[in-house]
Amino acid sequence: MILIVDGLTKKYGDVIAVNNISFNIEQGKIFGFIGPNGAGKTTTIKSIAGLISFDEGNITVNDCNIIKESEKAKSVMGYIPDTPFLYDKLTGKEFLYFIARIFKMTKNHIEKNIDKYASLFEFEDYMDLKTEDYSHGMKQRIIIASAFIHDPKLILIDEPMVGLDPKIAKIVKDTLRKYANNGGSVFLSTHTLSLAEEICDEIGIMNKGNIVYKGNIDNLKDKLKKDNLEELFLEITKNE
């Protein structure tokens, strides 16, 4: 298991954003979180990324406790937040260098990976422009590349496809699948149900802080006798 979330609870004052949830992700698998606005997806991802404290439970990433061995756990993760942040005055290349240096990568390794992802996500021509001059989708490509740059074992993505054109969205999808096929693991949250259906090995449906279903999409469809994920999602989250 690359990720073990055990009894995670996070409260904001009286609001229980995440209510005693547990799930695991195996190496080489893509796990997708879907759920209505305010369900607790971002809160869960931020807890795993080590960005916020939580009230109860344990999170283990690659055998390291996210609180007690935070730096070690973070060193094997790549994180793409729901509202990506770039340093406007840096060029795309400088930003990727900056991130890679945080992970203590060597110059050769950095250059190799920058070339790889610039070519894959087609931003070679923008590399030396300041990111303040990028379009939304171009910023998103740099952010996605920055999560892959240090060859992490686990990638966390909060809404990966927002703002990407169809061609790059497909490339990102294929890249995630290939990365998982080569032993990487992905935890993503999405409102794009077709994406969850297409690339996730397993999904968790979250509602009001609880995981109301966890497992394989086909099994869930069989169980509820629905053949479409949208209907299924509406059914599962309607009365909660």
Ligand X SMILES: Nc1ncnc2c1ncn2[C@@H]1O[C@H](COP(=O)(O)OP(=O)(O)OP(=O)(O)O)[C@@H](O)[C@H]1O
| Binding positions for Mg ion, rule: CB under 5 A | 41-42
Residue 12 as a binder of ligand X (CB under 6 A): the answer is yes
Question: How many CA atoms lie within 13 Å of 133's alpha carbon, on the beta-carbon side?
Answer: 10
Shortest distance in whole angstroms from residue 100 CB to Mg ion: 27
* Residue nearer to ligand X on the CB measure, 17 or 196: 17
* Residue nearer to ligand X on the CB measure, 41 or 93: 41
Residue 161 as a binder of ligand X (CB under 6 A): the answer is no
Among 1-9, 11-19, 96-104, 145-153, the segment contacting ligand X (CB under 6 A): 11-19
Which positions ≥6 away from 137 have C-beta within 8 Å? 163, 164, 165, 168
Shortest distance in whole angstroms from residue 138 CB to ligand X: 23
Tell me the C-alpha distance between 71 and 125, whole Å. Answer: 34
Residue 71 neighbours by CB distance under 10 Å? 8
20-59 residues near ligand X, rule: CB under 6 A: 35, 37-43
Amino acid 181 reads N
Residue 157 as a binder of ligand X (CB under 6 A): the answer is no
DSSP structural state of residue 55? S
Residue 240 neighbours by CB distance under 10 Å? 14
Sites of contact with ligand X (CB under 6 A): 12, 15, 17, 35, 37-43
